[in-house]
Structure 1
Amino acid sequence: VLNFVLFPNPHIRDENGDNIGLPLLGADIVSLPGNKHLVALDFQPVLDLSEENVSLIPKRYSHIETKLQSIHSKYQKSSDESIQPLLPWGGDIPEQAKRFFSPYALWTRLSDDNAMDTVSTLVWEAYQEYIDLYLELMDTVQKDVESGVNSQVLQGQEDYLEYRRSNDPARPMLIRLYGEDWAERVIGGVLFP
């Protein structure tokens, strides 16, 4: 199990001094018995993208979103319908989780004979590309960091942590292996504090 989340500084402001809500970088790569693998890589929104004038990445950094769209298209969704995606779509995202997924979520389930090879090659490459682009975004916005807490962004990050604490797919395995008290302490105090 690889569960990796990067939280940007919630104090980041745009060129007008307005608070912005940069996405989290979320990476989940889970290998299950029977050669089954679940993969989710995404720039996960902390603000509700369905609200008016809210975008995943502030317009000032739209070149990053263009790169993200290109990376996503490379692995999962091409504008050319005749091209088979490198990684198949993983199926419906649960309703309560949709708020935390962007249009560029790379979400797949792998279970064929080549699944482990796919994880160690294509998934690994996609993981590296998502991380590299996220670090490029953070480097680009660093100059916009100012003091002051953006309560809406901070609340979005807290909502995300609460969602993950409540819905951690590793919970049953951790409880079975280490007991409920230990599992809840680790989930709430280490994985998603």
Structure 2
Amino acid sequence: MESCYHHFSSSLSSIHTLKKPSLLPITVINTNLSSSSGRRCYIVTNMMKPSMQEAASAFSYKKFIHFALEETRKHTHLSPSPLQENFSHLMAMDGKTELQMLSYEASKIRLLRSLCVEQSDGIQVLDLGIFPRPEFDLPIFCANFFTTATMNIIVLDLNPLHDIINQRDYKEKYYKCLIPLGLKHAELLPWGGKITSESLRFFSPIVIWTKFSPSESKHSALYCAFKEYLKVWLELMDQATEETRGPQIMCNLEAQHRYLTWRAEKDPGHQVLTRLIGETRAKETIRKFLFNGVDELGSKTFLDYFPEYECEDGTINRKRSVIGKSFESRPWDSRGEFIGDNYG
């Protein structure tokens, strides 16, 4: 049973099996997108369609990062995170490929961080996440995108902090009014194939899990979806009230730590980071930057949260799909109700 993380990981592994091109380092472009950020997004397809290679090479995830920062600054004051001192950029072992990292914090945001990798042959990776402070039970903004000259593998979601199957009050609070948004974008970015309940338990009813061949229209559709999902998350942040009850704050804290623990152990980016910067630096980047908090927000281990992954010798089963049913189509109906018969 394959999950989207399996597809993502398998494709990431292909980076170093492709023919090696001449590589260009990433540079930060200080383009101000505020003048166009309020406009409606339209999908435009050129009369002369570019080849897949041209479509991929002409597309860049850097504009996603620029939009995210500009839009977030309209809602809150962003301060550089202390992580920026140690995680701003890394040069890969090939001496050519650069990993560009940014990180910020705000009054309701514990960490907004991004990792971007871009190569001249069209291979690109974007991992952008926004984690709320534990005083707020906000969802986690998640954008995990991987692009080659022939394929895009996409996960875009407002990952639920709490169980939306059994905690219906949490689902009603954040997702009830967002179902039309998810359905709208699912028309242009349809379900990407098999996914197991292991991955599904960290996704919401509006998750965009999709795969598509590079094209201007599809890239435009993805950019539209990214902007709308981010704007919705920021509106939820504006409306969020600070929790003052100690037990609920601890509940939020543990829920976020559980999420971070899962991602730090099972994240598909581990393989490509290891190939780019080596095992030691990859592990540090994952635990200290991408999923910062896994070593600070709680003391429970991966097996404390997910005992079903324990092997007979007490080690962690490294497979990403060991339990649960596989879903080949979207397992939520048009009202956002889960229609699978085996969630956990």
Smaller-chain TM-score range?
0.7 to 0.9
Q: 2 CA distance for matches of 1:41 and 1:97?
A: 13
Q: Provide the secondary structure at the position in 2 that maps to 1:88.
A: coil
Moved over 6 A (4+): none
User: 1:35·1:116 contact (CA, 8 Å) conserved in 2?
Assistant: no
Q: Provide the secondary structure at the position in 1 that maps to 2:189.
A: coil
Which of 232, 242, 248 is equivalent to 1:145?
A: 242
Aligned position for 1:94: 196
**AA aligned opposite 2:141:** L
User: 2:182·2:205 contact (CA, 8 Å) conserved in 1?
Assistant: no
**AA aligned opposite 1:8:** P
**Structure 1 residue 51 corresponds to structure 2 residue 150:** no
Given the superposition, is the C-alpha separation of residues 119 and 4 from structure 1 closer, same or farther in structure 2, using an over 3 Å criterion? farther
Bigger proportion of residues as helix: 1
Q: 1 CA distance for matches of 2:147 and 2:280?
A: 24
User: 1:25·1:42 contact (CA, 8 Å) conserved in 2?
Assistant: yes
Which of 12, 15, 25 is equivalent to 2:141?
A: 25
What is the CA-CA distance between 1:148 and the residue it aligns to?
4.5
Q: 2 CA distance for matches of 1:140 and 1:54?
A: 16
**Structure 1 residue 192 corresponds to structure 2 residue 291:** yes
Aligned position for 2:150: 35
Q: Provide the secondary structure at the position in 1 that maps to 2:204.
A: coil
**Structure 1 residue 5 corresponds to structure 2 residue 129:** yes
Q: Provide the secondary structure at the position in 1 that maps to 2:256.
A: helix
Deviations 1:116-147 (A, max 9, x none): 42453000000000000110111112xx2143
Given the superposition, is the C-alpha separation of residues 178 and 52 from structure 1 closer, same or farther in structure 2, using an over 3 Å criterion? closer
What is the CA-CA distance between 1:29 and the residue it aligns to?
1.3
User: 2:143·2:155 contact (CA, 8 Å) conserved in 1?
Assistant: yes
- The aligned runs of 1:107-122 (5 Å cut-off) are 107-111=209-213, 115-122=214-221
Structure showing greater Rg:
2
Q: CA RMSD in A?
A: 1.9
Task: Flag structure 1 segments of 5+ consecutive residues without an equivalent.
Answer: 13-20, 77-84
Which of 220, 224, 237 is equivalent to 1:125?
A: 224
Deviations 1:69-114 (A, max 9, x none): 12211111xxxxxxxx211211222332111101111110112xxx
Q: Provide the secondary structure at the position in 1 that maps to 2:201.
A: helix
Number of residue-to-residue matches in the alignment: 166
Greater RCO, CA 8 A, separation 6+: 1
User: 1:22·1:57 contact (CA, 8 Å) conserved in 2?
Assistant: no
Aligned position for 1:105: 207
Q: Provide the secondary structure at the position in 2 that maps to 1:55.
A: helix
Instruction: Calculate percent identity across the aligned residue pairs.
Output: 33
Q: Provide the secondary structure at the position in 1 that maps to 2:171.
A: coil
**AA aligned opposite 2:126:** L
**AA aligned opposite 1:44:** N
**AA aligned opposite 1:147:** T
User: 2:147·2:153 contact (CA, 8 Å) conserved in 1?
Assistant: yes
Q: 1 CA distance for matches of 2:207 and 2:188?
A: 14
